Amino acid sequence: METLERIIAEHPFFAGLDDDFTRLMVGCASNVRFKAGTYILKEGDLAEAFYLIRAGRVALEVRAPQRPIIISTLEVGDILGWSWLLSPFQWKFHARAVDEVRAIALDGKCLRTKCEENHDLGYEILKRFARIMEQRLDMTRFQLLDVYGARH
Amino acid sequence: MTATTMNDPMLPQPFLVCEVSKETPDTFTLRLDPQESNGVTGFQPGQFSMLWVYGVGELPISISGDPTLRDRLVYTVRSVGQATHSLVNQAVGSNVGVRGPFGVGWPVEVARGRDIIVVAGGIGLAPLRPVIYQVLQNRKDYGRLVILYGARSPRDLLYRKELAKWARSPETQVLVTVDYGGLSWRGHVGVVTTLFKYSRLHAARSVAMVCGPEIMMRFVIRELEVQGLSGDDIYLSMERNMKCAVGFCGHCQYGPHFICKDGPVFPYEQIRPLLEKHEL
Amino acid sequence: MLVRRGYEVIGPKLRDGAVVYGQLDSAGDLPAGWTDEQEAGQYRLKRREDQALFGYAVGPQSWKKYTHPAEVRLWAAERQNSTFRILNNEKKLEHPRAFLGVRACELAAIAVQDRVLLEDKYGDPIYGRNRSGAFIIAVQCTHAAATCFCASMGTGPKVSGGFDLVLTELLDAKGHRFLVAAGSDRGAEILKELTVVPATEEDRQTAAAAVEAAAKQQVRSINANGIKELLYDNFEHPRWDNVASRCLTCANCTMVCPTCFCTAVEDVTDISGDHAERWRRWDSCFTQNFSYIHGGSIRTSAKARYRQWMTHKLASWIDQFGTSGCVGCGRCITWCPAGIDITEEVRAIQEGGGNGNP
């Protein structure tokens, strides 16, 4: 637990959170490991957790008729998953461990309840996730532009 | 009349097509050797030549070879239209006219002693490859080398073997990503700007050289500034309609700059106000 | 006499209702007794009451017709098996040329093109050949058209340099005569062979007054103070939309402008394919494809193209070559079918807030 606390306290995503909140986070956290090729989460499933990736690469995939399409990869330091935060609390994509992945899983349901009870905590969490969504949106828009396509 | 350090810049010199190799389904690398003793093969990284296909037309193509190899000129060409198609289909043994080299190249001298960040998108890696050669062959003259490269999909990646080789050089980090991954691709998927968070760079010590589609360069520059680089340490290679390459035809003007003789490489600070203008 | 010396004399003549430049065999070929009336989109020739030889302003052509010709073959090439050989047969001019009747604005324009085509990073050998041999006989203007604004651009009507000989035409009670002065050794040499008498002080003053009168006659002007910053800072000024609604992008202005230098190159082959040539011809930034790169043109709207031309001419040119690209000859105003007046467009941006506000 002590190691978890230090990891969470030092992770840039949680920077600026006061000690009480950090302890709350740690209360909802656990170490997890995924073998290469396995699915960390699947489209349509209930979203109950989010992950702080500590090692390995994760591929976000969309199921297409012939084969899955990788839309993005996440690595060490990245946060995986925000659908636990907003209803209907369902994953929109698959996330597959490309290599062996070690991560810290944070219990989303537990955290959600705590955020409803403590709006200050809720605001801090939402601010941080909004930043992630903004970055992913920028990245996705850039990707959509298909700048290397023939007609540019 | 101002003297130039080459033959008449208006006349193509015949060069022999020695080798044509396929990089990707639509991109080829040509090696051209001079036919005549006065064929010029010296160039600065970032410069370009005007390549003339007899009876078809002339194209500006960046030189993408090793600047220390003086017996040849190497170009990586993407086939996007009639003229480029004709160029990449030149048979070994045929001749292509070469004018040049032209333009202001990458700041390889100014950047001595500093860390180098090379950010390339798509075919943009071709004009930057001479910089990578220059740095790796003069390793102790430069600090860390970080190469960030993005392409559309795995099969559009250029110089894959060389990228792997460069990654094994000392003090060198090579990160490659694609916009669209395939099932067998185990690397990064995402736009080239996502590579910054995985790279180890020291902004204050770095000089960045960026080449790729204009939209990509704008996104990359924004990210470089977020990383802490100043506009004076960011260089980019601009492209406009090029016909004469010697500043007379007027086509390549970008604001007050002639891309052919004031560029194609510019310090970002110099063209910052122009990049945001629509239809310039 | 110049013809006797082997020069091909080029000067003003009448053709198709305008004063154009062509080969002259004698002074009789000059448009004696004619003057012009010019306005935005208008050009008329009118008879004078006297027989002045140079009593008109400038016509649609400029000396770039000869120094920077509209169509030039750059080189020819022959296919030889798998290679080719360039045949660079430079065509030397058969006779050296004399330009008769070069006005102050035109001397300024020639100087501007010298800077662009000879004195920058590379030199254009074709321009160099055409230009360096030319014997220039300047003529001081004593009549200004309504579209002239050289006085405000500091380029005329008084001639200041760059000529071999300069003439000022005087036509009054004392007779039809010309003040002539040499501006170079070559000019002085020719002068020695002419029947001349030293000019009287009175004639000098009459001549100076006539040129001064031409300056005062000008009704148009551009206030060029700070014009570079003004145009750079007003990229999105609504006036550009306004002028775009009138501009036909016909490119007349670039063709008649004595400083516009843009060209295009064209590679052609004959049917057998054994013979290829590269030709250079005038081009204009007003054409749709001028700014084409793969994927499309950058400046597609008329607004972007007019803005490019005017900003280049009055602003970017200064950063590129150290002077304005405009010499105030007024041709672009006269020959625009829509009557667009560059002096008016500048004024609209200067007075319309100048910082992008309408």
Q: Which of A31, A35, A29, A40 is nearest to A73 (CA)?
A: A40
The position carrying tokens 């003003």 is C12
**Residues lower than pLDDT 70 in chain A:** 1-2, 150-152
Instruction: Check C267 against B52: CB less than 8 A apart.
Output: yes
Secondary structure of residue C144 in the 3-state scheme: coil
User: Using CB atoms within 10 A of its CB, is residue A119 exposed (0-12), middle (13-18) or buried (19+)?
Assistant: exposed
Same-domain check for residues B76 and B153: no
Instruction: Check B54 against C77: CB less than 8 A apart.
Output: yes
Within 10 A of A65 (CB to CB), how many other CB atoms are there? 4
The verdict on C316 touching B (C-beta cutoff 8 Å) is yes
Contacts C302 to B, Cβ<8 Å: none
Same-domain check for residues B193 and B83: no
Residue A150 maps to a domain: no
Cα(C148)–Cα(C39) distance, integer angstroms: 9
The reply to whether omega before B107 is within 30° of 0 (cis) is: no
Residue A151 maps to a domain: no
Q: Which residue of B has its CA nearest to C275?
A: B55
Range C83-90, long-range pairs (CB < 8 A, 24+ positions): C83/B14, C83/B16, C83/B35, C83/B94, C83/B95, C84/B14, C84/B54, C84/B95, C84/B97, C84/C276, C85/B14, C86/B11, C86/B12, C86/B97, C88/B8, C88/B11, C90/C125, C90/C129
* Residue C124 DSSP class: -
H-helix or E-strand spanning residue A106? strand A101-107
The reply to whether omega before B101 is within 30° of 0 (cis) is: yes
At position C46, the amino acid (one-letter code) is K
Same-domain check for residues B82 and B18: yes
Residue A99 maps to a domain: yes
Cα(C170)–Cα(C241) distance, integer angstroms: 47
CA distance B171 to chain C (A): 37
Q: Is A112:A85 a contact under the CB 8 Å cutoff?
A: yes
Same-domain check for residues B79 and B141: no
At position A102, the amino acid (one-letter code) is R
The verdict on C173 touching B (C-beta cutoff 8 Å) is no
The verdict on C74 touching B (C-beta cutoff 8 Å) is yes
Neighbours of chain B (3+ CB pairs under 8 A): A, C
Count of residues in chain B = 280
Closest in B80, B182, B219 to A142, CB measured: B219
Q: Counting one residue from A and one from B, how many pairs have CB atoms under 8 Å apart?
A: 66
Same-domain check for residues B43 and B141: no
Most C CBs within 10 A among B102, B215, B251, hence the mutation to make, goes to B251
What is the pLDDT, as a whole number, of residue B6?
45
Buried b (16+ CB within 10 A) or exposed e, C29-68: bbbbebbbebebbebeeeeeeeebbbbbbbbbbbbbbbbb
Instruction: Check A70 against B194: CB less than 8 A apart.
Output: no
Give how far the C-alpha of residue B165 lies from the chain's centroid of Cα atoms, to the nearest Å.
19
Contacts B94 to C, Cβ<8 Å: 82-83
The verdict on B197 touching A (C-beta cutoff 8 Å) is yes
Q: Is B189:B152 a contact under the CB 8 Å cutoff?
A: no
The reply to whether omega before A12 is within 30° of 0 (cis) is: no
The verdict on A11 touching B (C-beta cutoff 8 Å) is no
Contacts A58 to B, Cβ<8 Å: none
The verdict on C77 touching B (C-beta cutoff 8 Å) is yes
Helix residue spans in chain C (DSSP H): 64-67, 104-117, 125-132, 150-153, 185-193, 201-216, 227-233, 239-244, 252-256, 302-311, 317-321, 331-334, 342-351
Most C CBs within 10 A among B61, B214, B279, hence the mutation to make, goes to B279
Instruction: Check A70 against B188: CB less than 8 A apart.
Output: no
CATH code for position B83: 2.40.30.10
Q: Which residue of C has its CA nearest to B60?
A: C293
Count of residues in chain C = 358
The verdict on A150 touching B (C-beta cutoff 8 Å) is yes
Residue A149 maps to a domain: no
Same-domain check for residues B170 and B233: yes
Domain region containing B36: 13-102
Q: Which residue of B has its CA nearest to C304?
A: B279
What is the pLDDT, as a whole number, of residue C93?
73
The residue among B78, B102, B126 that closes a domain is: B102
CA distance B186 to chain A (A): 7
Tell me what percent of chain C is helix, strand and coil, each rounded to the nearest 5: 30, 25, 45
CA distance C349 to chain B (A): 18
Q: Is B79:B85 a contact under the CB 8 Å cutoff?
A: yes
Instruction: Check B186 against A143: CB less than 8 A apart.
Output: no
Residue A122 maps to a domain: yes
Q: Which residue of A has its CA nearest to B214?
A: A147
pLDDT in tens, B51-86: 999 988 899 999 999 999 989 999 999 999 889 999
With a threshold of 0.85, tell me whether the complex ipTM lies above it.
yes
CA distance B212 to chain A (A): 8
CA count, 13 A, side-chain hemisphere, C189: 6
Q: Which residue of C has its CA nearest to B257?
A: C320
Question: Torsions phi, psi of A104, nearest 5?
Answer: -105, 125
What is the pLDDT, as a whole number, of residue C300?
92
Residue A147 maps to a domain: no
Q: Counting one residue from B and one from C, how many pairs have CB atoms under 8 Å apart?
A: 118
What is the pLDDT, as a whole number, of residue A102?
96
Domain region containing A84: 2-142
The verdict on A30 touching B (C-beta cutoff 8 Å) is no
The verdict on C87 touching B (C-beta cutoff 8 Å) is no
- C206 vs C143, C178, C195, C199, CA distance in Å? 14, 11, 21, 11
- A149 vs A69, B25, B119, B123, B152, CA distance in Å? 18, 13, 18, 11, 7
Residue B258 maps to a domain: no
The torsion of the CA quartet C144, C145, C147, C152, rounded to 10 degrees, works out to 10
Q: Which residue of B has its CA nearest to C310?
A: B255
Cα(C80)–Cα(C115) distance, integer angstroms: 39
Closest in C124, C264, C320 to B256, CB measured: C320
The verdict on C84 touching B (C-beta cutoff 8 Å) is yes
- C62 vs C68, C329, C357, CA distance in Å? 10, 10, 37
Residue A152 maps to a domain: no
Cα(C252)–Cα(C244) distance, integer angstroms: 15
Same-domain check for residues B136 and B31: no
CATH code for position A68: 2.60.120.10
Closest in C118, C293, C316 to B240, CB measured: C293
Same-domain check for residues B134 and B232: yes
Most A CBs within 10 A among B80, B193, B194, hence the mutation to make, goes to B194
Q: Which residue of C has its CA nearest to B83?
A: C294
**Residues lower than pLDDT 70 in chain B:** 1-7, 38
The verdict on B213 touching A (C-beta cutoff 8 Å) is yes
Instruction: Check A70 against B193: CB less than 8 A apart.
Output: no
Within 10 A of B98 (CB to CB), how many other CB atoms are there? 26
Same-domain check for residues B227 and B126: yes
Closest in B4, B94, B251 to C122, CB measured: B4
The verdict on B155 touching A (C-beta cutoff 8 Å) is no
pLDDT in tens, C281-292: 999 999 999 999
Residue B132 maps to a domain: yes
The verdict on A72 touching B (C-beta cutoff 8 Å) is yes
The residue among B102, B137, B163 that closes a domain is: B102
CATH code for position B214: 3.40.50.80
Cα(C179)–Cα(A121) distance, integer angstroms: 94
Instruction: Check A76 against B212: CB less than 8 A apart.
Output: no
**Count of domains observed in chain A:** 1
What is the pLDDT, as a whole number, of residue C98?
93
**Count of domains observed in chain B:** 2
Within 10 A of B212 (CB to CB), how many other CB atoms are there? 27
Contacts B123 to C, Cβ<8 Å: none
Closest in A57, A98, A143 to B179, CB measured: A143
Closest in A68, A99, A152 to B213, CB measured: A152
**Residues lower than pLDDT 70 in chain C:** 1, 353-358
The verdict on B141 touching A (C-beta cutoff 8 Å) is no
Closest in A75, A143, A149 to B191, CB measured: A143
